[in-house]
Amino acid sequence: MGHGGGGKLMSDLITHLFAQDLKNDLLDQMGDSTILPSDLAAGRLAFSTDSYVINPLFFPGGDIGELAVNGTVNDLAMSGAKPLFLSCGFILEEGLEMKTLGLIVKSMAQACRIAKVLMVAGDTKVVNKGHGDGVYINTAGIGIINNEIDIRPQNAKPGDAILISGSMGDHGIAVMSVREGLSFESTIESDTCPLFDLVESMLVITKEIHCLRDITRGGLSAVLNELAKASQVGFEFEETKVPVRSGVQAACEMLGLDPLYIANEGKLVAIVPEQWSDPILTEMRKNPAGTDAVRIGRVVADHPGIVLAKTRIGGSRVVDIPAGELLPRIC
């Protein structure tokens, strides 16, 4: 508990652990708030936040620290914003091993380097043993949006193509498998990764991307429903076109889960004018985060707010937003 009290122990924690791994001139200001450089004015700012309560803290393909950086970076990228600065709030459980915290902080630092963002402000609180599950992390992020870009959930238009950047369900099944002690033939790894490079390459083809959304909690079904409702258009896609890795598919069949409802942490859906669909896909597939990118369907004027899937056997079904919780605590 001493490390959360504002005293010398906390000051040591900040200096020796956080400030070393995450070192940069802005974080070094050590003020109550961090003053950002003034040469940001070439666009509008985007601002986003997410808390991470994933259990367990480490899972195949990632950990809570990497997730906390990539998640917020990706939320910014989904506005077309170049992510620049992150803040970070740790809620530590009394008794958390310093070694564990050290690994998480190193992982965050590494993720920041890969995503080309700076961690510029932070806070640490400690809660009593038995609460907090080791560590919860909140990150907030600031990015900058080129003035020609207007990507919003309300922008999908009939005729647009629906693209996704890769396979569905990897993150959720990776976390679930360790949590439930399931083992499959091959380890399923989380897909956690930053998506701005991918978005930036898509924007080189055209600024006219209508909607972007990273496919996290609630999976593809939640995201498509949100976009269809926000834009008041209908969505139709072919279920067979949605890539699902064989291990994920097998796990889903065993557990009675639908990959369309499982979270990812490094995948996006893009709604783009049909004429840009092929060139954007070609570009996406050149990026490591988009090698399996595919066009899964189209936006229609019929049945606004409703998402229809063409099934494997040729029928068509309404893909609803999931009511509650499929896999709790997966981010």
CB 306 to a second copy: min, Å:
14
| Contact call for residue 256 and a second copy (CB under 8 A) | no
CB 143 to a second copy: min, Å:
7
Select from 26-34, 163-171, 238-246, 296-304 the region that touches a second copy (CB under 8 A): 26-34
Q: How far apart are CA 323 and CA 183, in angstroms?
A: 28
Residues 6+ apart with CB under 8 A from 119: 22, 24, 27, 69, 85, 86, 87, 88, 108, 109, 112
Give CA torsion, residues 10, 11, 12, 16, to 10 deg.
110
- Helix, strand, or coil (residue 244): coil
| Contact call for residue 247 and a second copy (CB under 8 A) | no
CB 288 to a second copy: min, Å:
21
| Contact call for residue 4 and a second copy (CB under 8 A) | yes
The residue among 252, 96, 265, 119 whose CA lies nearest residue 184 is 252
The residue among 295, 273, 298 whose CA lies nearest residue 284 is 295
Sheet strands side by side (includes 161-164): 211-214, 268-272, 161-164, 294-300, 234-238, 307-310, 316-318
| Contact call for residue 31 and a second copy (CB under 8 A) | yes
Select from 76-84, 237-245, 272-280, 283-291 the region that touches a second copy (CB under 8 A): 76-84
Q: One symbol per residue from 161 to 190: x for binding a second copy (CB under 8 A), - otherwise; what is it? A: ------------------------------
| Residue 298: both structure tokens together | 């189209």
Segment 260-319, which members bind a second copy (CB under 8 A)? 263
| Contact call for residue 74 and a second copy (CB under 8 A) | yes
| Contact call for residue 49 and a second copy (CB under 8 A) | yes
Q: One symbol per residue from 192 to 231: x for binding a second copy (CB under 8 A), - otherwise; what is it? A: --------------------xxx-xxxx--x---x---x-
Residues 6+ apart with CB under 8 A from 163: 269, 270, 271, 272, 277, 280, 281, 284, 293, 294, 295, 296
Segment 103-132, which members bind a second copy (CB under 8 A)? 120-123, 125-128, 130-132
| Contact call for residue 142 and a second copy (CB under 8 A) | yes
CB 50 to a second copy: min, Å:
5
Strand 58-59 and strand 44-52: the pairing is unpaired
CB 308 to a second copy: min, Å:
18
Q: Tokens 């393909």 map to which residue?
A: 61
